[in-house]
Amino acid sequence: MPPTDARLTHLDDTGAANMVDVSAKDITTREATAEGYVRMKPETLEMILSGNAKKGDVIATARIAGIMAAKRTHELIPLCHPLALSKVAVDIEPDASLPGLKVTAYAKLAGQTGVEMEALTACSLACLTIYDMAKAVDRGMVIQNVRVLSKSGGKSGDWTAA
């Protein structure tokens, strides 16, 4: 149960949405990791891994899309702060048990606000790019379980998903 003083930080006392003022916060190293999966037919996964997708290298393109998306999170999600990210990494690995691809995105900075949204945006856009590049052969792909795995830094400290 949340503490009795818990409230949504982006709403003022009247319920109006506002960007949170982070100017009084300490500058600390902040990191976040997110993950997501794209489930697909085994033959779609094989096509991607063999480099035979008609649109080109699916994994490399999705990785670049995720990195670009992290840098533009503030343009995509209302009330997010523009951040000077020091590191964004997107890893995409095959998972035969799905079958499909596991996407892991990492974001880091030294700043006054966290980078969870940047990691989630990178992961989400990488997954969407995979779907876009392979949808001609597999419209039934499923993007699933996009979530924050961990975050560190700031007053609220470290957090890891169970």
Integer Cα distance of 158 and 161 in angstroms? 10
Do residues 32 and 151 touch, judged by C-beta distance below 8 A? Answer: yes
Integer Cα distance of 118 and 88 in angstroms? 9
Q: For helices 116-134 and 58-71, what crossing angle results, to 10°?
A: 150
Is residue 107 helix, strand or coil?
strand
Instruction: Judge whether 132 counts as a catalytic residue.
Output: yes
Q: What is the DSSP letter of 153?
A: -
Annotated catalytic residue, options 12, 57, 91, 132:
132
Q: Does an H or E element contain 33, and which?
A: strand 28-39
Positions annotated as catalytic residues are 132
